[in-house]
Structure 1
Amino acid sequence: MIIRFFAAVLLVYAFGFLGFAVTLPKPVSGQTTDAVVVLTGGPGRIARGLSIVEQDLAEEMFVSGVDPDVRPAEFAAEFNVSRRTMQCCVTLGYLAVDTRSNAGEAAQWLKENEFDSVRLVTTDWHMARASSEFSETLPEGMRVVEDAVPSHPDLATLYLEYNKLLASAVSQGLPS
């Protein structure tokens, strides 16, 4: 009986991982939001966020999880951002160190600026957990557009992220 139970749990886990790995989200085109939140940590994320602002698909961009040693001028130089765009449209967040704190830092910025909709930009394999963490912190009624940056993750990356997603789901289900 116990062996069957563990076999069933293992089977559910394996099919869950397979489902996670083959249904990675895609980029979104054409949808307008008030703001875009970009989570640092993966190639193409910041470029995607800047592209959204430049296409007028979002008014402002918040970059969460920026290294505290990075100054706005350095950021602008690194990502070829004009002075005008930096001044009007880009805010750097220095407080976050992980996905959960990204969500808290971004939620605070969104509340302070009274935005009603946000485009969340992160890598495709990271989107499920990031979206889950954001759903716990964002103001009620906030419309979220998930805009995934395509990647080619290896099996180890997918495996680690799937387990982080499961751990996050369990911790969110626990009473505070």
Structure 2
Amino acid sequence: MSARDTLRRTIGQRMTRIAVGLAALLAVVYVGGFFLFTARLERTPPVEVPVADGIVALTGGPDRITAAYRLLEEGKGSRLLITGVHPDVTAASLKEIVPGAAPKFDCCVDVGHRAENTIGNAAETAEWVQRRDYRSIILVTSTYHLPRAQLELGRAMPGVEISPYPVFQDTLHLDGWWAYPGTTRLLISEYTKYLLTLTYGQPQAQT
């Protein structure tokens, strides 16, 4: 083997070791960040909910809508926006999700049909906030979705105060999540989307 071939082989081996080392480092950072992400997720409802100009619920389950409407009835905001509603879903059908007579639904709930993902939720909410000249909102969505949703809405509405309100599903097991494959997959997916949002501001997958 010539000296040139030996040099090429040595350089190739070094590059391979560097690539493997970088991959291992990225894996460690990703896994460490994931554990930190899951540890920081809210596990209990907030004790104190500040009064805001408006309330925003991101679709993704009836629990989000009922929680947001309850805040509206408690006077935590003057109006509620439900953003990301499927075009075929009417306000009347959404009203049926809310327990009781829902007296404030007809007068004080706005339904947004344009958003298809979290980025769309942020744009739709920003238009609603600007149109009503609001300066603060309560953001209602699932606890695992709150970090990314708050980041997207904060980018779309700089200067608007956003108070997060986490919603919890019975099927989501945050404590001991590693023992529940469904919860684990959901958290890994959401963490990856969150990283993409931090890095590019354009997560590719929908909520």
Q: Verify same fold: TM over 0.5.
A: yes
Structure number, greater radius of gyration: 2
In structure 2, the partner of 1:12 is 29
Comparing 21-30 with 33-42, which one deviates more in the overlay?
21-30
What is the CA-CA distance between 1:83 and the residue it aligns to? 6.3
Change (3 A) 1:135 1:81: farther
The answer to whether structure 1 residue 169 and structure 2 residue 186 are counterparts is no
Question: Displacement, 1:44?
Answer: 1.2
Aligned letter for 2:29? V
The one-letter code matched in structure 1 to 2:23 is F
Q: Structure 2: how far apart are the matches of 1:57 and 1:78? A: 20
Residue type matched to 1:30 in 2? V
2:120 and 2:25 mapped to 1: Cα distance? 34
CA distance change for structure 1 residues 81 and 66 in 2, over 3 Å: closer, same or farther?
farther
Partner of 1:111: 130
How large is the Cα RMSD of the aligned pairs?
A: 1.7
CA deviation string 1:128-161 (max 9, x = no partner):
11111111101x3211101111232510000111
Structure 1 residues not aligned, in runs of 5+: none
1:144 and 2:195 correspond: no
Aligned-pair distance for 1:82? 4.0
State percent identity of aligned pairs: 29
Q: Is the 8 A contact 2:57 2:80 kept in 1?
A: yes
- Verify: 1:91 aligned to 2:110, yes or no: yes
User: What amino acid does structure 2 have at the position aligned with 1:145?
Assistant: S
Name the aligned partner's letter for residue 194 of structure 2.
Answer: L
C-alpha spacing 1:81/1:100, structure 2 compared with 1 (3 Å) = farther
Indicate how the Cα distance of structure 1 residues 141 and 45 shifts in structure 2: closer, same or farther if over 3 A, else same: same
TM (norm. structure 1) is 0.90
Q: Confirm or deny that 1:73 pairs with 2:92.
A: yes
Q: Which runs of 5+ in 2 are unaligned?
A: 1-17, 174-182, 203-207
Which structure carries more relative contact order (alpha carbon 8 Å, separation 6+)?
A: 1
